[in-house]
Structure 1
Amino acid sequence: MIESYLLEQLLAFEKFGTLSKAAQFIHMSQPSLSLSMKRLEDLIGVPLFTRTKNRIILNENGQLLVKYAHELLDFERNMIQQIRLAEVSQHELHYASISPTPVFLLDSILQQLSTKKVKTQLIDDNDLLFSSLLEDKVEFIISTTTPKNPKLATIRLFQEQLYLSVDPTHLLATKKNITFQDIATENILLFKNIGFWMNVCRFRLPSANFLIMDNFEVFTKVADTGNFPHFTSNVMQKLLTSPDNKVLLPLEEKDSIVTYYLIFKKQYQDTLAPILTHLNSHPII
Structure 2
Amino acid sequence: MELRVLKYFLAVARHRNITRAAEELHLTQPTLSRQLQDLEEELGTPLFTREKRRMELTEAGLFLKARAEEMTAIETKTLDQFAHLEDFIAGDVYLGCGEIQAVRLVVQALTPLGRAYPQIHFHFVSGNDEQTFDALQKGVLDFGLLCQQTPPADFVYRQVPFDDEWGLYLRRDHPLAQKQAIAPQDLYEEQLILSCQLLRDHVFAHWLGKDPEELDIRATYNLVYNAAFLVEQRLGLLLSFKGLVPIEGPEHPDLTFRPFSPAFSSHNYLIWKKEQVFSRAAAIVRARIEEAFGSHD
**Smaller-chain TM-score range?**
0.3 to 0.5
Which has the larger Rg?
2
